[in-house]
Amino acid sequence: MKYLPAIACFIALLLSFSLKASPAQGAICRQLGEQQVCIVDIRRSAKYYWQYRVTLEVDGQTRPREIYNCRDRVRISSQGDRLAFQNHGLGDLICRLVQR
């Protein structure tokens, strides 16, 4: 019984940390030029291991899930548009981070 206040304080401390969670907590964030880019969710394709389904948060705005093809250096938008990677852009950043 003498440890009950200490345990209660510990639980309260844990809860206070969990309530301060931001949407991008646990995300990988990098500064890319003047933009803050966070990878909120990333999933590798089982069939095409060079493709990643990625949900990004750019400057606090969550973007729709896109497919990043690291072999062909293209990203496929949620509407199906194929866009080539820009030099030193988001595609390069994502493919560089997942190769580690």
Checking if the pLDDT of 64 tops 50, the result is yes
Checking if the pLDDT of 29 tops 70, the result is yes
Predicted model pTM: 0.70
Alpha-carbon dihedral sign for residues 15, 21, 27, 31: negative
Domain segments of the chain as ranges: 24-98
pLDDT at 20: 35
Q: Which one has a higher pLDDT value, 92 or 27?
A: 92
